[in-house]
């Protein structure tokens, strides 16, 4: 696609903290982000799963829902969902024609260009709601010029410390930057210090504050919930709290609110759709393989909980990491579940070389070797494994694995590289 060539070329403008550029592009386009109500989601982990659950729940109520997430696993179309499917190449091309010259003249970053494209497409499609996931942080993220009806902050942990700060408190303040005057904010389960910071920011903005565990619990999750792992049950509680708030604060359209029986306070709008949510590459089992995007310590802790839940041990690990991650801590969290490991270099310029990763694995006590490709690593893993095989370390690796294992869920036949500078607040 010509679109891809132009948008990917914007990577040369690198990392640009601040909202000035995205505001300028949006203004030139007529501020399309103001033409639809949004649900704006920030957090270290769980943003995508909560986005997918809300997308499915709201569509089940008969609403036209858009969803914008990042990064993509395989094809760039995955970042832009409308009515439950990635947008077509044709819609991307048509949308890109509107922003190509603006992006070039204003030297917008890769993520700024894609965010402007999402706003433009969603406005043209006249969606009822857009579920928008921040790329990184919140305060300076390009999505933060949207008009939210509800903001959500999922679990916060230490990641991207170079940009967001090296304490939970500092990162929470950055994530809390999505909170808007008078707009209700849902906070998922978090450390006490995070709760206090988000509560304070909400109070400063006269924004109603709802701590998800105070109004929702795992017992509300329907039987047959389609996303595995304890961490996704935590994410489901956050999504349920958001749906309850959308009803209680009358954020849903009148036609939906009127459909609820008078006095039926226990109704959770759209929760039945939780049995059909698709969010690939997060503790996804494919035969003997478990594919998970865990790439930082908070995500590794969530993965470890899921492995413990299923009493999984003596796994063969196939992993690839970007070099800017806290790899040592992540490996030490996963070490109790792993007997052997195969290190590969992922399909990303920031990826750590396979042998350097293998050395890190050995340094933390894991019997590890490097492998020249994912295909060869999987073949070796099958020969070594007495039980299951765990693939993790990077969402870039997840995409490759889903293709290799013939488990990619959408009809996209192209493997697009993801962003090169994914640690940028303005990406």
The mean predicted confidence, pLDDT, of the chain is: 90
**Are 211 and 314 found together in one domain?**
no
How confident is the model at residue 184, as a pLDDT?
Answer: 98
Q: Is residue 414 one of the residues assigned to a domain?
A: no
In a domain, 357, yes or no: yes
pLDDT of 420 reads 46
Is it the case that residue 98 has pLDDT exceeding 60? yes
Assess whether pLDDT exceeds 60 at residue 263: no
In-domain check, residue 412: no
Tell me the mean pLDDT in the region 108-136.
95
pLDDT of 375 strictly over 50? yes
Whether residue 43 is found in the same domain as residue 109: yes
pLDDT over 70, % of the chain: 91
Same domain for 70 and 162, yes or no, is yes
Residues 247 and 352 in one domain: no
User: Among 29-33, 66-70, 71-75, 163-167, which stretch is predicted with the lowest mean pLDDT?
Assistant: 163-167
Task: Look at residue 11 in the predicted model and tell me its pLDDT.
Answer: 56
Instruction: Report pLDDT for 424.
Output: 35
- Report whether pLDDT(128) > 70: yes
Q: Which domain holds residue 313?
A: 284-404
Q: What is the pLDDT of residue 14?
A: 55
Could you give the number of structural domains in the chain? 2
**Contacts with 193 (C-beta within 8 Å, 6 or more apart), sequence order:** 168, 169, 172
Q: Is the pLDDT of residue 365 over 90?
A: yes
pLDDT of residue 264: 62
Res 319 pLDDT > 50: yes
DSSP state of 219: G
User: 306 and 249 in one domain?
Assistant: no
DSSP-assigned letter for residue 150: E
Residues 199 and 307 in one domain: no
CATH number, domain of 226, equals 3.40.1190.10
* 402 cis-preceded (ω within 30 degrees of 0): no
Q: Are 11 and 61 found together in one domain?
A: yes
CB 418 within 8 A of CB 281: no
The residues, ordered by sequence, that sit 6+ positions from 387 with a Cβ below 8 Å of its Cβ are 288, 312, 313, 314, 315
Q: What is the distance between the alpha carbons of residues 17 and 38, in angstroms, rounded to a whole number?
A: 22
Query: Which long-range CB contacts under 8 A does 163-170 form with residues at least 24 apart?
Result: 163/17, 163/136, 163/137, 163/423, 163/424, 163/425, 164/136, 164/137, 164/425, 168/193, 168/194, 169/193, 169/194, 169/197
Together in a domain, 174 and 40? yes
Residue 154 maps to a domain: yes
Predicted local distance difference test score (pLDDT) of residue 165: 47
Q: Alpha-carbon torsion 403, 407, 410, 413, what sign?
A: positive
Taking 90 as the threshold, does the pLDDT of residue 349 lie above it? no
Percentage of residues of the chain with pLDDT beyond 90: 73
Whether residues 260 and 308 share a domain: the answer is: no
Whether residue 399 is contained in a domain is answered as yes
Residue 424 lies in a domain: no
Render pLDDT for 218-258 as a digit per residue (tens, 0 to 9): 999 999 999 998 889 999 999 999 999 999 999 999 989 88
The reply to whether 216 falls in a domain is: yes
The CATH number given to whatever domain includes residue 362 is 3.90.190.20
* 72 lies in the same domain as 149: yes
Ranking 176-180, 272-276, 296-300 by mean pLDDT, the lowest is 296-300
**Total residues found in the chain within this entry:** 427
Parallel/antiparallel/unpaired status of strands 284-286 and 389-392: unpaired
In a domain, residue 419? The reply is no
């Amino acid at each position: 696609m010509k679109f891809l060539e132009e948008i990917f070329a914007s990577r040369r403008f690198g990392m640009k903290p601040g909202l000035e550029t995205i505001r300028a592009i949006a203004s030139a386009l007529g501020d399309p982000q103001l033409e639809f109500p949004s649900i704006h989601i920030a957090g270290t982990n769980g943003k995508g799963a909560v986005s997918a659950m809300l997308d499915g729940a709201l569509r089940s109520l008969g609403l036209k829902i858009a969803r914008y997430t990042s990064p993509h696993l395989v094809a760039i179309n995955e970042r832009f969902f409308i009515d439950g499917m990635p947008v077509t190449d044709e819609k991307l091309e048509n949308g890109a024609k509107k922003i190509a010259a603006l992006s070039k003249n204003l030297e917008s970053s890769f993520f700024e260009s894609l965010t402007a494209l999402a706003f433009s497409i969603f406005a043209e499609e006249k969606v009822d709601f857009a579920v928008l996931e921040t790329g990184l942080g919140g305060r300076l993220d390009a999505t933060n010029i949207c008009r939210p009806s509800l903001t959500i902050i999922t679990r916060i942990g230490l990641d991207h410390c170079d940009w967001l700060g090296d304490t939970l408190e500092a990162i929470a303040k950055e994530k809390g930057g999505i909170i808007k005057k008078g707009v209700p904010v849902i906070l998922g389960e978090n450390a006490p210090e995070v709760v206090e910071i988000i509560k304070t920011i909400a109070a400063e903005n006269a924004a109603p504050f709802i701590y998800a565990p105070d109004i929702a619990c795992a017992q509300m999750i329907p039987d047959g919930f389609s996303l595995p792992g304890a961490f996704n049950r935590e994410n489901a509680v956050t999504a349920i709290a958001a749906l309850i708030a959308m009803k209680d604060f009358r954020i849903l359209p009148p036609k939906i609110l009127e459909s609820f029986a008078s006095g039926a306070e226990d109704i959770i709008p759209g929760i039945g759709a939780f049995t059909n949510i698709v969010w690939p590459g997060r503790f996804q089992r494919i035969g003997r393989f478990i594919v998970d995007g865990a790439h930082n310590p908070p995500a590794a802790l969530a993965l470890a909980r899921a492995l413990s839940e299923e009493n999984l041990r003596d796994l063969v690990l196939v992993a690839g990491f970007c070099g800017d991650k806290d790899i040592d801590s992540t490996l030490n969290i996963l070490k109790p579940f792993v007997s052997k490991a195969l290190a590969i270099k992922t399909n990303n310029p920031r990826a750590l070389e396979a042998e350097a990763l293998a050395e890190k694995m050995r340094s933390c006590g894991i019997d590890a070797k490097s492998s020249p490709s994912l295909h060869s690593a999987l073949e070796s893993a099958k020969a070594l494994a007495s039980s299951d095989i765990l693939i993790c370390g990077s969402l870039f690796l997840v995409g490759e694995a889903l293709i290799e294992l013939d488990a990619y869920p959408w009809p996209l036949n192209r493997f697009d590289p993801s962003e090169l500078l994914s640690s940028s607040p303005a990406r």
